[in-house]
Amino acid sequence: MDFNKLQIIKLLNDAEQQKTLFKKADNIRRQYVGDEVHLRGLIEFSNICRNNCLYCGIRRGNNKVVRYHMTEDELIDTARKAANIGFKTIVMQSGEDMYYTQDKMCRIIEAIKKFDVAITLSIGERTYDEYKAFREAGADRYLMRIETTDKDLYHKLDPEMSWQHRYDCLMMIKELGYELGSGIMVGLPEQTVESIADDLLFLKDIGIDMAGIGPFIPHPQTPLAGAAGGTLDLALRTMAVMRLMMPDINIPATTAMESLHPKGRIMALQAGANVVMPNVTEGEYRKLYELYPGKICVNDTPVHCRSCIGMKIEAIGRTIGKGYGGHQKSMQKTKD
Ligand code: 5AD
Ligand code: FES
């Protein structure tokens, strides 16, 4: 649907009618992307980051974090196990850790590609040459949230980073033929619904293939410890409106949603989402990759999470996707 900014703001503000909105998003989801839920195995392979975003638990300045990065072999091994338990997409996520040079990443991508999986990278801002090399090595998709399109807010949340540069990175990724995932946090300090409406229009305008939308959850060891944080309801409404605006894209039920409510991901799957990214990181690393507090599944294993989420998905009458679950662009147009 081609909503204008005012229409989006109205939907985002309308807490009373949110059930109707979720129902609509659920119907559009069924109509365009069906009842399959695509699972992605998420490997959090390094919590070392050169950046210092005010909101993030693994920011450079948080000296209470016990830092780790997996070795090349550990990472490949984790991916192999995830492929063996049935994941058709592996998402490799980390802080901006320069230990993972271009050559190292390429070797890892080539090795993991042999497991017959789609590969998604979520490793932040890199150079064009690096993005190109990763793509040529076999990476299929790239996730990088724009976080907010309010440039002043973006620069307040990380004075060292540049909104324009992040945007330029998204454009490079798109040009190189990756499926592009982007998204935002909902409930950042000083963020308004007007600004969230701009974010949604932006994501539609750049033609993303996947939209990751989650509530901001303040981390006690960051400068934003005392902030209010986002609510699950507003995050769900934002996600549902995104589904109406971009009916055929992939939309994950985000982990942060479940951190605010024990049924957060199921609620999201019934309000427009069609993807879940269970954690397949092993052992202590799970706890140490703490972007925000209250992260779910920190004491679980990949096998446990796979079967837990599988049962929850089937309990609401949905099925687990059997293919790679990439963005199937629809030719169908919405009526208005
Ligand atoms: N609360 C919620 N989400 C967060 N992220 C980072 N820190 C937080 C937080 N405190 C999100 C960002 C980032 C993604 C990997 O995690 O949107 O892009
Ligand atoms: Fe990890 Fe349910 S998904 S325990």
307 contacts: CB under 8 Å, gap ≥ 6: none
* Tens digits of residue pLDDT in 51-69: 999 999 999 999 999 999 9
Ligand 2 centroid vs 310 CA: distance in angstroms?
9
* Tens digits of residue pLDDT in 124-171: 999 999 999 999 999 999 999 999 999 999 999 999 999 999 999 999
* Tens digits of residue pLDDT in 183-196: 999 999 999 999 99
Mean pLDDT (whole number) for 227-252 = 98
Please check the confidence at residue 333 and state whether its pLDDT lies above 70: no
User: Tell me, what's the pLDDT at 330?
Assistant: 80
Q: 5-335 in CATH: which number? A: 3.20.20.70
Mean pLDDT (whole number) for 173-201 = 98
Can you tell me whether residue 181 is helix, strand or coil? strand
Ligand 1 centroid vs 214 CA: distance in angstroms?
8
User: Tell me, what's the pLDDT at 1?
Assistant: 86
The whole-angstrom separation of Cα 311 and Cα 278 is 13
**Residue 169 CB less than 6 A away from ligand 1:** no
- Measured from the alpha carbon of residue 148, the closest ligand is 1
User: At how many degrees (to 10) do helices 128-137 and 102-113 cross?
Assistant: 20
Write down the pTM of the prediction: 0.96
118 contacts: CB under 8 Å, gap ≥ 6: 88, 89, 90, 140, 141, 324, 325, 326
The whole-angstrom separation of Cα 82 and Cα 173 is 25
* Tens digits of residue pLDDT in 33-44: 999 999 999 999
The whole-angstrom separation of Cα 124 and Cα 92 is 11
Domain boundaries, the chain: 5-335
For tokens 């040009």, what's the residue? 175
Mean pLDDT (whole number) for 208-221 = 98
Please check the confidence at residue 311 and state whether its pLDDT lies above 60: yes
Dihedral-angle region of residue 161 (phi above 0 means left; psi in -120 to 50 means alpha; beta otherwise): beta
* Tens digits of residue pLDDT in 66-94: 999 999 999 999 999 999 999 999 999 99
147 contacts: CB under 8 Å, gap ≥ 6: 154, 157, 166, 184, 185, 188
Which atom of ligand 2 lies nearest, measured to the CA of 305?
1
**Residue 90 CB less than 6 A away from ligand 1:** no
Ligand 1 centroid vs 290 CA: distance in angstroms?
10
Chain mean pLDDT for the chain: 96
